[in-house]
Structure 1
């Protein structure tokens, strides 16, 4: 009995220690200042990435910015993000002093649209094509961070199609995990309605890139679309990537069952060294999240491909964005895109190839 008691006591101490470490991480992150997108004059050597935004964030009454609170319906606007000529792959160069387009990500132009059709007209101007990359950010993201992340992804992957950010009302605070989970449920109708608008014309397609808790939001929206019987909309989704998904694996299985035939390709990017999802697992009851599952074959669906990026982790951002922040991972993905066939989506057409540094499995 004494041995069992000692074992239990040691296990309990380990658990308490882990919780204390996780709490310390949250508090440290909460105390860190958040950066904000800033305007600056354009630099002739910089690259301009137009980022279109649909957001359910309420307009902050203290200034002309979109804040953290929820609103009914969506705001629509465009922000031209300037990427500096000194940009390094996988990084977002935030200003360390006055913003300078020669060295920093900056905003050079913005335009607010009073109707969604005006955003769509601007987005499709100049023969931009009929396929749109829709990025759904994750937990603890501000609007500025999500805009810059999409601009960085478009730049590093040389994506020509228009990029639209769906910015749901995350609290932008590491202490707001439960608030953000509720915001996901609040925003799923808006995301479903946005996808309906983006695919209204024959030939229109969308490719969904969802990160972290944004993957939960994406699955909820797809489930809702499927339950409404709108298979036409689902057929116009040219692919889905769930990157570091913050979803309970059991919940994902039920969501996928409700959706039925999933859009193809349907990819899950996991990183077992993802410290942010490890913390999420503690918060939600110590069950591993989908983005840190132990084996790529744990997702038992023939229409889902799981790719493990653990070997390419570099420690950046708690290993929570490895596929788009690790230069090695970006190089691997760009190589796959370059070798892919011409059929299917323009972005990440065929991710079922297995390379030595990346494990992929299809059941």
Structure 2
């Protein structure tokens, strides 16, 4: 009787904890939904001291009837354009300086120019004319992202990490609404063939390479595209992927294992950035059945593949953006990550497995 009572008391306590977590996550979702006003990219005259980041965009988003902006409808085929993003001379590492009043290139991210291309060939010609390198960074954004937010985020990443590569944004048809989680998951499957098509075109010449950066649900799309390439026998494309980073991946860990199993040999380096304090992924876990997503696993060792490097950014979480962008919004994380990248390049040794980041420097942990 006493044991049964203790067991019953424990179950009741666990039920209360689950209820509190559920209420907290519901409150978070309601808060996100209430924040209906989203910032949009705006044009302004260039500033002589600003840094211009050309961002190339391949998008499935359709032109809405309300104006020349890309919306959330799911059309067929890709559209291509370039937008020149001006990063202000006062830019702070990890920050997108959205206008707080009148748009000013001296203090804000702004658009200074746009060119719409007739097709992929015209975009590729522009990339190769202005960016002679053979490696291209492809950014695949996550759930609840607008085109403006994704363009500015990629411009910020290009500035803070000085990648030296031309940057292409693959803008898939996210609803851009926190209530559109299921819509966005369906859009990932809708978009995977077009992502493969884009990557094929970016690697058409001998020696061309692509480095893939997937964020959140965009990590799921990245894995689906690689899996699709493998299933279709497109080994040429897989050999042209120079590396993959999944940042805060919104993927079920079991699904990731199955995707990786199908792909086989993963591109190298293959990095996964996690943070146990990622509140957005905690909400995603609640929506999908309370199972932890890959980006919030509690132990890096749970990813057992020897060809995957897991980097834990938990200690560098800064509270911004629900801790969902820590590797690219936390100044400390950016400095540490730039240092790791620089050191790996100098030593030619690549990345140690399972690096847990601690202030003020990185501590490497071998399994």
Q: Give the shorter-chain TM-score range.
A: over 0.9
The answer for unaligned runs of 5 or more in structure 2 is none
Cα distance in 1 for residues equivalent to 2:130 and 2:18: 57
1:127 Cα deviation after fit: 4.7
1:359 Cα deviation after fit: 5.3
| Correspondent of 1:31 among 9, 34, 37 | 34
1:311-350, Cα deviation, whole Å (9 max, x unpaired) = 1111111111111000001001111222233698xxxx93
| Correspondent of 2:13 among 5, 10, 17 | 10
What is the SS of the residue equivalent to 2:168? strand
1:230 Cα deviation after fit: 1.4
1:214-263, Cα deviation, whole Å (9 max, x unpaired) = 00000000001011111111011000000000000000000000000000
1:212 Cα deviation after fit: 0.3
Cα distance in 2 for residues equivalent to 1:320 and 1:23: 18
Identify the residue that residue 225 of structure 1 maps to in structure 2: 229
1:58 Cα deviation after fit: 1.1
Cα distance in 2 for residues equivalent to 1:187 and 1:361: 37
Runs of 4+ residues deviating >6 angstroms: none
1:300 Cα deviation after fit: 1.1
- Asked if 1:43 is matched to 2:44, the reply is no
Cα distance in 1 for residues equivalent to 2:23 and 2:297: 23
Task: For 1:163-178, list aligned pairs within 5 A.
Answer: 163-178=167-182
- Asked if 1:181 is matched to 2:189, the reply is no
- Asked if 1:52 is matched to 2:56, the reply is yes
Cα distance in 2 for residues equivalent to 1:218 and 1:360: 27
| Correspondent of 1:300 among 298, 304, 308 | 304
| Correspondent of 1:20 among 20, 23, 26 | 23
Cα distance in 2 for residues equivalent to 1:212 and 1:297: 20
| Correspondent of 1:261 among 265, 275, 278 | 265
The answer for unaligned runs of 5 or more in structure 1 is none
Aligned residues of 1:316 and 1:325 also touching (Cα < 8 A): yes
Identify the residue that residue 291 of structure 1 maps to in structure 2: 295
Cα distance in 1 for residues equivalent to 2:328 and 2:351: 15
What is the SS of the residue equivalent to 1:57? coil
Question: Against the structure 1 CA distance between its residues 117 and 287, is the aligned structure 2 distance closer, same or farther, given a 3 Å change threshold?
Answer: same
Task: For 1:306-345, list aligned pairs within 5 A.
Answer: 306-341=310-345
Question: Against the structure 1 CA distance between its residues 361 and 55, is the aligned structure 2 distance closer, same or farther, given a 3 Å change threshold?
Answer: farther
1:6-58, Cα deviation, whole Å (9 max, x unpaired) = 43333223222211211111111111111111111101110000000001111
Question: Against the structure 1 CA distance between its residues 180 and 170, is the aligned structure 2 distance closer, same or farther, given a 3 Å change threshold?
Answer: same
What is the SS of the residue equivalent to 2:340? helix
Identify the residue that residue 253 of structure 2 maps to in structure 1: 249
Cα distance in 1 for residues equivalent to 2:187 and 2:285: 19
| Correspondent of 1:90 among 91, 94, 97 | 94
Identify the residue that residue 64 of structure 1 maps to in structure 2: 68
Aligned residues of 2:311 and 2:357 also touching (Cα < 8 A): no
Cα distance in 2 for residues equivalent to 1:362 and 1:340: 16
Aligned residues of 1:312 and 1:322 also touching (Cα < 8 A): yes
Cα distance in 1 for residues equivalent to 2:156 and 2:364: 25
Task: For 1:262-281, list aligned pairs within 5 A.
Answer: 262-281=266-285
Aligned residues of 2:94 and 2:328 also touching (Cα < 8 A): yes
- Asked if 1:75 is matched to 2:98, the reply is no
Cα distance in 1 for residues equivalent to 2:234 and 2:347: 24
Cα distance in 2 for residues equivalent to 1:186 and 1:59: 18
Cα distance in 1 for residues equivalent to 2:262 and 2:365: 23
TM-score by length of 2: 0.94
Identify the residue that residue 119 of structure 2 maps to in structure 1: 115
TM-score by length of 1: 0.95
Aligned residues of 1:297 and 1:362 also touching (Cα < 8 A): no
